Structures are given as structure tokens and as C-alpha cells.
């Protein structure tokens, strides 16, 4: 039975500020994808919790959206409700920092440097939100958020507010219980990280250097989703793609970056179907050449069938 009953649609239409058929392409770093059937965006965590509780009890599908920097949204859009997480508050208490899930990691990296705290410089390489980072243990330059995380406030539809210690989240390289385990569908409301006192100017200089170096080796300023594939154990996905001769490979307006093999760029007007075909082609070719099964890091969401 479809969830699209008259009473469910009426309930969705009554959500405060809800929009119907809201375009999502501009809300993703790829700049690709169809509309959200229903779209909801409110800063207050309680409003989000109520919305996903309602969806869950009515069996309405929902997607939590952060900064859209790790998503490939289907050309036909997303069924049900898309909830954009925009709570961007933060509090600094000594060396502990609690940040709302909608705050961008890069912004938080600058905030904590200005507060003379060290240990969060890696976050300058992660353009997504704090919630999106916890969701799959984002990291950069061999550091991951789990190394500084002490506590996460969350919400599980039907079960209510929860506080998770990092162990409960089963964080690992681009995985967690939120992405791949028992907490699928749960909301990250805020995260608390433990940092160290230090020289903010040194932190800013380090971040500037890392950003400069990255700009030389990765096509950061294009429309992309960051790394398309997870690195297989002991190897690098970018190296494998390059060794398979796939740099520059193209499907429509989607092309494997000539700068870094683990990036796919939307040159302008690429469809989600173009990107997906290219991803599948790369996976098949790497498997054929090296017997290695690449696993996408980017998440494909929405109406693909």
C-alpha cells in the first residue's frame, strides 16, 4: 500500500513552511537532482523531531539533508519528505565545543581556531555539516571526527531523544550505525568535541596551507561530491581509477577529473543518470583490471527505479 493517502498528504501539507516540488539540485554540491516531493527546513530541533516522528509513524519516507556534499540525488527527485538540518548554534566551554548538526565543519574549524583551540584543523577539508560528518565519520588528512568526538545528542523516531557516546555509534572509515547499522533514520541533533588549548594563529596557518595544497591536487572548486569511492584497504581509489586509464572518462556532462581520479565533475548539465553510469563503468573497469570491488562513498538517494 502506498503511503500517499489523503490524510498523510494533508498532514505533510500542514507542516510549518513546507514546500512541495522544491528543487534539490542547488542544495547539493554536485548541482544535480530532481525535486523533493515535500521539503521542510526549520532551525529548531523539536520541529524536526516532530516531523520525522510523524513520518515514521505514518510510514512516509524521509531524507535528512545536511549541506548535500555527499549525495547524488536521482533525476526524478525524492519521494516523501526531505528535511534540511539547519540548527547552527554552538557553545564553547573550556576545551569542549558543542555544535548544532547544521553547522558546517569548515565554519566550526574557523570558530574554534579563533577561540585558540587546536585539534579540529582537519575539518577545513570537509565542506559538509557536523551532522553529516558524524553520520559517516568524515575526516581529512588522516584525521576523522571520531578522534575528537565525545558525545552526540540524537533523536530516534518513536524512541525520542538519546545521547550517544562515540562507541555506540560504531564509527569507522566512512561508516557508522547511522549510515549502516541499527541507527539508520536517526537524527543527529548536535555533537560535542574535545579539543586542546593552543595557538589559534598556528591553527589558521595550518588550515591555509592544507587548503592551498589540496586546491593543487583536487578539483575542489568544481561541482562534485568529494571522493566518489571509499579507499579499499591498503590502496587508494584515485590511484586505481588512474591506473585503469579512466581519468577523463565521460558520460554525458559527467567526467572523471583529470586532476584526481576519485572525483567526478559535473561540467554543467550532467544528469544523475550520467554520473551513475560513470560510477558503474569505473567500478566495472577497476574490477576487471585489478579484481578490486570499489564501494561508493557518495550516497545515491531518491527515485532511481
Ligand X SMILES: Cc1cc2nc3c(=O)[nH]c(=O)nc-3n(C[C@H](O)[C@H](O)[C@H](O)COP(=O)(O)OP(=O)(O)OC[C@H]3O[C@@H](n4cnc5c(N)ncnc54)[C@H](O)[C@@H]3O)c2cc1C
Q: How far is the CB of 71 from ligand X (least distance, A)?
A: 4
68 vs 119 by CB, closer to ligand X: 68
Q: Minimum CB separation from ligand X for residue 227, in Å?
A: 6
CA 271 to chain centre: 19
Nearer to ligand X, 69 or 231 (CB): 69
Which of 98, 146, 174, 276 is catalytic? The answer is 174
Q: Is 270 helix (H, G, I), strand (E, B) or coil?
A: coil
The footprint of ligand X (CB under 6 A) covers: 29, 63-71, 85, 101, 125-129, 131-133, 135-136, 138-140, 178, 187-188, 220, 224-226, 299
Three-state DSSP at 275 gives: helix
Q: DSSP code of 230? A: P
Nearer to ligand X, 131 or 238 (CB): 131
Shortest Å distance, C-beta 137 to ligand X: 8
Cell of 101: 548538526
Based on the residue annotation, tell me whether 121 is a catalytic residue of this protein: no
Active site residue 174: yes
Given the complex with ligand X, which of 64 and 246 has the nearer CB atom?
64
Q: How far is the CB of 128 from ligand X (least distance, A)?
A: 2
User: CB within 8 A of 15, min separation 6: which ones?
Assistant: 38, 40, 51, 54, 81
* Cα 68–chain centre separation: 6
Smallest separation, CB 112 to ligand X (Å): 17
Identify the active-site residue in 176, 190, 227, 257. Answer: 227
Of the two residues 199 and 235, which places its CB atom closer to ligand X in the complex? Answer: 235
Helix axes 6-13, 45-58, angle to 10 degrees: 170
- Is 227 catalytic? The answer is yes
Contacts of 223 (CB under 8 A, 6+ apart): 29, 30, 31, 32, 265, 266, 267, 268, 270
Taking CA 130 as the corner, what is the angle to CA 118 and CA 43, rounded to the nearest 5 degrees?
A: 125
Q: Are 134 and 149 in contact (CB under 8 A)?
A: yes
What would the grid cell of residue 187 be?
537524527
**What is the distance between the alpha carbons of residues 55 and 57, in angstroms, rounded to a whole number?**
6
* Residue 84 or 251 with smaller CB distance to ligand X: 84
Intra-chain end-to-end CA distance of the chain, in Å? 18
Residue with cell 584525521: 143
What are the backbone angles phi and psi of residue 236, rounded to the nearest 5°? -125, 135
Beta carbon of residue 136, minimum distance to ligand X (angstroms, whole number): 6
- Show the cell assigned to 261: 581520479
Which are the catalytic amino acids?
174, 227, 297
Amino acid at each position: 500500500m502506498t503511503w500517499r493517502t489523503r490524510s498523510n498528504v494533508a498532514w505533510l501539507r500542514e507542516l510549518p513552511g513546507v514546500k512541495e516540488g522544491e528543487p534539490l539540485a542547488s542544495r547539493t554540491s554536485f548541482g544535480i537532482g530532481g525535486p523533493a516531493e515535500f521539503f521542510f527546513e526549520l532551525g529548531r530541533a523539536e520541529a524536526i523531531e516532530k516531523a520525522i516522528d510523524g513520518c515514521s509513524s505514518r510510514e512516509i519516507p524521509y531524507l535528512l539533508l545536511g549541506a548535500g556534499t555527499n549525495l547524488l540525488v536521482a533525476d526524478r527527485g525524492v519521494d516523501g519528505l526531505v528535511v534540511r538540518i539547519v540548527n547552527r548554534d554552538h557553545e564553547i566551554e573550556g576545551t569542549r565545543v558543542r555544535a548544532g548538526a547544521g553547522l558546517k565543519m569548515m565554519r566550526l574549524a574557523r570558530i574554534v581556531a579563533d577561540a585558540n583551540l587546536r585539534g579540529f584543523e582537519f575539518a577545513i577539508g570537509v565542506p559538509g555539516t557536523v551532522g553529516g560528518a558524524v553520520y559517516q565519520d568524515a575526516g581529512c588528512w588522516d584525521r576523522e571526527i571520531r578522534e575528537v568526538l565525545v558525545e552526540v545528542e540524537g533523536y530516534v523516531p518513536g524512541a525520542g531523544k538519546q545521547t550517544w557516546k562515540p562507541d555506540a555509534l560504531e564509527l569507522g572509515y566512512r561508516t557508522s550505525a547511522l549510515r549502516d547499522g541499527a541507527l539508520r533514520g536517526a537524527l543527529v541533533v548536535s555533537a560535542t568535541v574535545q579539543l586542546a588549548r593552543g595557538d589559534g594563529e598556528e591553527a589558521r596557518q595550518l588550515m591555509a596551507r592544507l587548503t592551498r595544497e589540496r586546491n593543487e591536487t583536487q578539483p575542489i572548486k568544481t561541482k562534485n561530491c568529494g571522493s566518489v569511492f571509499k579507499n579499499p584497504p591498503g590502496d587508494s581509489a584515485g590511484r586505481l581509477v588512474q591506473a585503469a586509464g579512466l581519468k577523463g572518462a565521460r558520460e554525458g556532462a559527467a567526467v572523471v577529473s583529470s586532476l584526481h581520479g576519485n572525483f567526478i565533475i559535473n561540467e554543467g548539465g550532467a544528469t544523475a543518470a550520467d554520473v551513475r553510469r560513470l560510477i558503474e563503468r569505473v567500478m566495472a573497469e577497476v574490477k576487471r583490471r585489478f579484481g578490486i570491488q570499489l564501494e561508493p562513498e557518495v550516497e545515491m538517494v531518491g527515485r532511481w527505479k
